[in-house]
Chains A and B, each alone.
Chain A
């Protein structure tokens, strides 16, 4: 049988009627290539139709070697200290402009691959990504070290904040473009070269963005992109002896593997953004309507496929009954807006894949089997697409799977507490520590509780709203390191202390 002809571009017609050409090859040295084994491909699936969109080249360990060589060369010759900081900034600003220019078509491609509504992709994911690129574009010539007066008067002691080097970045499928921006922007701003491995579930926009990388003027090798699977491409990057750092966003289970591989290979630097089971505490003094609104959005936005989703809600006993009614009402309103991602008023689409849908459905069944009550939802979906409607569980107990494990779907567990102390204990009773929310109008309580919560992000009278200049990351098993803000720049710099004796 003749080998299948693999191509590195695919012409797509989007549901809107727009035609777009999507790269499906490996992006190395500013051009798209076939993999060393071009017959190794994988398919990406449309979660609405359940049909394959196209085939994409699958990078193997050999391809990773080639990409790393390219990244290393770029770092040593045209990037890092060889690229003036202001110029690096200008490239990022230009990239932001290009993303803005192509926002609508990128949003449609994102929606096709991931299932999220086009309007959300464009007005939220992509708008924030553009702002993220601009934010880091403004940092490049502002990364200062220190000069330090020591006890030695004949010494000039100073620190240089140098780029770490070749950085592998593995991003998830829940916010493909936004995770791409969160990762590439600070790394490139700091002067690192990047090898990006998008999720095998949603590779298309990452590949399309490589065209903008070329158009913006980034030199070859500064950003390479390897579509691949975690076990093949991801693992090869984690263990590569010439990769200086790996940044990963995804499940805690995979994060563990990456840290192990890093330790066993060259002790590369590791930052991890992992899972969460974030608690949202509703105190009696809260504005219950606002709290219910924010609590529902806090779990249902992106159909719960969000690492910091407020997936456990605890309401103070005295307002519990009233509160869960409000939550149920809003959850039902949200359910009514789940549908075709390409329709303007859709607020939620399908889950990203059959696998994810099955996993979430498994949790819903477990909840029911373990005795929780599905106040809203709890049913499957009839018809095409990996849809699951919002499910709200009450009558929960600490030991239940739906209370302990990250579901990553539109499923929330609501419990009750009597005292503030109990609320804090319930909130912190998890191996995770990514985020938390508190609804209260008592400022002393707010301070006590925010101080006591073991979470990297705490929202007060809000949920789920992030900003490019405020850091984000996990306590405990939710991660290592911080993204966003000035803090992300630190994650991509190596501090060199120079002791210059001039006596």
Chain B
């Protein structure tokens, strides 16, 4: 029996939106909402109070098979290049419009499921997600191949073809936004999709399935399977009939995805993994701005951001002033009910995450770093953690090396350029980095020397869907966003038409 999720947001006392939602929470396969083959369900927990408030169908390997079959059928009959680019674009535009029309509902669902502030979900997540879909809608009829001059005997050209059926596994930190980042380029290039949202945050993905149906995408083009990584996720990574898998999540799981792809059919793989991004504050930085951006850089989304600036390096000349003002600023951050309009930081997404972060905080203390601010649970109920600052941290420490994925920053003092580049790059990760300095030459030189896929100068955590994003080193393979993302979903065919060459 497929459940229907119903919720009246007026029960959220502090919410500015008091609307209702009601939709079926089955697996979306071949244009229909169905039960999982094994009839099991997944509990959905509200991280603000730790209570289960919904159940969604659970997909296992059998369901992945069914979805793959539906996707292949759709690809062979109604989708792919057979469905013209401008028409694919129209559907994506329609989907973006639907998202904007239902922004409050999507934001409220996201907030309830993930714990992020409703104001942020609406003003950032939903808005950006809709615009990302619209952005890729515009790419559909503009993905040109090339004609290439070789010699007079031949007409040589490339065709940008879709892979066919692609698997996409997305995380729980920005459920709707990650959905859009994945869906947009894959559909723009003509692929059919099997998408597995995180078992921790399935709701907006399922609601999107309804909108995809409403927008008029043919059945089988997009399939949404809520399930666990070890079962449904693994089935996708190792499926012999899925031609490509895109994964965003931890480096640990990314490894298993790559291995599964290698062991099965050598499917194309792109990965967006973890980070331990360095944020460098030189003594000629605009300190007030640097402090604000740095706080945003680590505490935005409760630190649950792959590109979070979790190692802040402050040049010794301004270290004391920075620490004093930064601490003041962080102390004033509002932690609380996601539905309260003034909340900046809500709870962490789950008990598992909560325990892991608290574990790191303990480790930090054990290894001799100083808890300068925070370090405890916030409140009694739910998975809230106080914004935490560690000082006196040294390079080998766990909290300096490992990705914590919570509202915990280490602040380290440094001497000069020579010193800092090595320290900043001393990580297996390479997702992002930032440089604060009023001397643009210094900033650019530093930026160019940092081993990271995104480098901010005098800013942090501001992305744009037109600009590519992805990791160096163990932070990932491939780039999302911008025109670059199209390459992730394109099989390039070179056609050599022999005109006059003879043997």
Mark A residues whose CB is within 8 Å of B: 85-86, 89-90, 93, 131, 134-135, 137-142, 144, 154, 156, 443-444, 447-448, 468-469, 486, 500, 502-503
* CB-based contact A469/B155 at 8 Å: no
Contact across chains for A138 and B137 when beta carbons are under 8 A apart: yes
Within the complex, the shortest CB–CB distance from A445 to chain B, in Å, comes to: 10
> Hey, which chain B residues are within 8 Å of A443, CB to CB?
497, 499
Pull 9 A–B residue pairs with CB atoms less than 8 Å apart, ordered by A.
A86-B131, A86-B135, A138-B89, A138-B140, A138-B141, A141-B466, A144-B483, A156-B444, A469-B142
> Separation in Å of the B95 CB from the closest CB of chain A?
13
| Inter-subunit contact A447/B499 (CB<8 Å) | yes
Contact of A469 among B131, B141, B441, B499 (CB under 8 A): B141
Q: Hey, which chain A residues are within 8 Å of B137, CB to CB?
A: 138
Complex CA gap A141/B131 in Å reads 11
Determine whether the beta carbon of B86 is less than 8 Å from that of A134.
yes
Check if B93 is an interface residue, CB within 8 A of chain A.
Answer: yes
Digitize B438-472: 1 where CB-to-A-CB distance is under 8 Å, 0 elsewhere.
00110011000000000000000000001000000
Shortest Cβ distance from residue A106 to the other chain B in the assembled complex, whole angstroms: 20
Complex contact A444–B500 (CB within 8 A)? yes
CB distance from B39 to the nearest CB of A (A): 43
A316–B155 CA distance with the chains assembled, in angstroms: 25
| B138 interface residue (CB < 8 Å to A) | yes
A138 lies within 8 A of B499 (CB): no
B211–chain A nearest beta-carbon distance, Å: 18
Shortest distance from the beta carbon of A255 to any chain B beta carbon, whole Å: 29
Q: How far is the CB of A503 from chain B (nearest CB, A)?
A: 7
Asked whether A138 and B500 contact (CB < 8 A) given A156-B444, A502-B441, the answer is no
In the complex the two chains form, is A138's CB within 8 Å of B497's CB? no
Contact A137/B138 with A502-B444, A502-B445 known, Cβ cut-off 8 Å: yes
Question: Which residues of chain A have C-beta atoms less than 8 A from B138's C-beta?
Answer: 89, 137-142
- CB B498 to nearest CB in A, in angstroms, measures 9
Q: Does B378 sit within 8 A of A, measured CB to CB? A: no
Please name all residues of chain B whose beta carbon is closer than 8 Å to the beta carbon of A502 when the two chains form the complex: 440-441, 444-445
Bound complex: CA A134 to CA B93 (Å):
10
Expressed in whole angstroms, the Cα–Cα distance for A486 and B138 within the complex equals 12
Measured between beta carbons, the chain A residues less than 8 angstroms from B142 are 138-139, 142, 469, 486
A131, B141: Cα distance in complex, Å? 11
Partner of A142, one of B90, B93, B139: B139
Measured CB to CB, the closest approach of chain A to B3, in angstroms, equals 37
Interface of A is mostly: helix
| B124-156 to A contact mask, C-beta < 8 Å, 1/0 | 000000010011011111101000000000010
Inter-subunit contact A135/B466 (CB<8 Å): no
Known: A138-B141, A154-B445, A443-B499; 4 extra A-B contacts, CB below 8 A, are: A135-B141, A448-B499, A468-B86, A486-B142
B120 → A minimal CB distance (Å): 20
B235 to chain A, nearest CB (A): 35
Cα A137 to Cα B134 in complex, Å, equals 10
Q: Are B466 and A142 in contact (CB under 8 A)?
A: yes
Closest to A89 in B: B138
Interface size classification for chain B = 20 to 34
**A156 vs B483: C-alpha distance when bound (angstroms):** 22
Q: For B86, give its contact among A85, A93, A131, A503 (CB under 8 Å).
A: A131
Closest Cβ of chain A to B497, distance in Å, is: 7
Q: In the bound complex, do residue A134 and residue B90 qualify as a contact, i.e. CB atoms below 8 Å apart? A: yes
Which residue of A is nearest B87, CB measured?
A131
CB pair B499–A134 under 8 Å, yes or no, is: no
Q: How far is the CB of A101 from chain B (nearest CB, A)?
A: 15
Residues in A with CB closer than 8 Å to B445 are: 154, 502
Complex interface: chain B residues within 8 A of A134 (CB)? 86, 89-90, 93
CA distance A106 to B141 in the complex (A): 26
B499, A444: Cβ atoms closer than 8 Å: yes
With known contacts A137-B138, A469-B142, A93–B483 Cβ distance under 8 A:
no
Contact B441–A503 (Cβ < 8 Å): yes
Q: How far apart are the CA atoms of A500 and B90 in the complex, in Å?
A: 41
Contacts of A447 in B (CB 8 A): 155, 497, 499
Specify the chain B residue showing the minimal Cβ separation from A137. B138
Q: Are A486 and B131 in contact (CB under 8 A)?
A: no
Docked Cα-Cα span, A186 to B84, in Å, equals 21
Cα-based distance from A502 to B439 in the complex (angstroms): 10
Residues of B within 8 A of A137 (CB): 138
Q: Please, what's the 1-or-0 string for B75-107, where 1 marks a CB less than 8 Å from any CB in chain A?
A: 000000000011001100100000000000000
Pair B483/A142 contact, Cβ less than 8 Å: yes
CB neighbours (8 Å) of B466 from chain A are 85, 141-142
Residues from chain A with Cβ under 8 Å of B155 in the complex: 447
**Which chain B residues lie closer than 8 Å to A156 at the CB level?**
444
Q: List CB contacts (< 8 Å) of B264-290 with chain A.
A: none
Q: Which residue of A lies closest to B141 (CB)?
A: A469
Which residues of chain B come closer than 8 Å to A448, judged between CB atoms? 499
Report chain B residues within 8 Å CB of A503: 441
Across the interface, do A138 and B441 meet the contact criterion of CB distance under 8 Å? no
Q: Which among B137, B141, B144 has the greatest number of chain A C-beta atoms within 10 A?
A: B141
Q: What residues of chain A lie closer than 8 Å to B500, measured between beta carbons?
A: 444
Residue of A nearest to B155 (CB): A447
| A111 CA to B140 CA, complexed, in Å | 33
Please give me the 4 A-B residue pairs with the lowest Cβ-Cβ distance, nearest first. A138-B138, A502-B441, A502-B444, A447-B499
Q: Separation in Å of the A46 CB from the closest CB of chain B?
A: 34
Among A138, A141, A144, the one with the most B-chain Cβ atoms within 10 Å of its Cβ is A138
> Scoring B residues 6 to 45 as 1 if CB is less than 8 Å from chain A, else 0, what string do you get?
0000000000000000000000000000000000000000
Q: Are A486 and B141 in contact (CB-based, < 8 A)? A: no
Closest CB in chain B relative to A118 CB, distance in Å:
24
- In the complex, which residues of chain B have a beta carbon less than 8 angstroms from the beta carbon of A138? 89, 137-142
Give the nearest-CB partner of B144 in chain A: A486
**Listed residue (B86, B138, B141) with the most chain A CB atoms within 10 angstroms of its CB:** B138
Please give me the residue from chain B that is nearest to A447 by CB atom.
Answer: B499
- Bound-complex Cα distance A93 to B96 (A): 12
**Complex alpha-carbon distance, A93 and B138, angstroms:** 10
Chain B residue nearest to A86 (CB atoms) is: B131
Complex Cα spacing A89 to B466, Å: 13
Q: Which residue of A lies closest to B466 (CB)?
A: A141
CA distance A502 to B445 in the complex (A): 8
- Residues of chain A lying within 8 A (CB to CB) of residue B85: 469
Inter-chain CA distance A90–B139, complex, in Å, is 14
Closest to B443 in A: A502
Q: How far is the CB of A147 from chain B (nearest CB, A)?
A: 11
Q: Which residues of chain A have C-beta atoms less than 8 A from B483's C-beta?
A: 142, 144
Chain A residues whose C-beta falls within 8 Å of the C-beta of B444 in the assembled complex: 156, 500, 502
Min Cβ gap B119→A in Å is: 22
- Give Cα distance in the complex from A137 to B90, angstroms: 12
How many angstroms between the C-alpha atoms of A86 and B500 in the bound complex? 47
Closest Cβ neighbor of B154 among chain A residues: A447
Q: Please report the C-alpha to C-alpha distance between residue A469 and residue B155 in the assembled complex, in whole angstroms.
A: 21
- Given the interface pairs A135-B141, A142-B138, A156-B444, the reply to whether A93 lies near B93 with Cβ below 8 Å is yes
Roughly how many angstroms separate A135 CA and B137 CA in the complex, as a whole number? 10
A89 to B440 CA separation, bound complex (whole angstroms) = 32
Q: Across the interface, which residues of B come within 8 angstroms of A144, CB to CB?
A: 483
**A188: min CB distance to chain B, Å:** 14
- Residue on B with the closest CB to A153? B448
A202 to B144, CA, bound (A): 36
Q: With a CB–CB cut-off of 8 A, which chain B residues contact A135?
A: 86, 141
Separation of A141 and B138 alpha carbons in the complex (Å): 9
Distance, CA A89 to CA B139, complexed state (A): 12
Q: How far is the CB of B495 from chain A (nearest CB, A)?
A: 13
Minimal Cβ-Cβ distance residue in A for B85 = A469
A141 close to B86 (CB less than 8 A): no
**Given the complex of chains A and B, what is the CA–CA distance between A162 and B138 in angstroms?**
20
Give CA–CA (A156, B137) in the complex, Å.
32
A468 to B86, CA, bound (A): 10
How far, in angstroms, from A448 to B140 measured CA to CA in the complex? 32
Complex: A469 Cα to B140 Cα, angstroms: 11
Rounded to whole angstroms, the CA-CA distance of A186 and B89 in the bound complex is: 18
Task: Provide the bound-state CA to CA distance between A131 and B135, in Å.
Answer: 16
Q: Shortest beta-carbon distance, B157 to chain A, in Å? A: 12
CB distance from A97 to the nearest CB of B (A): 10
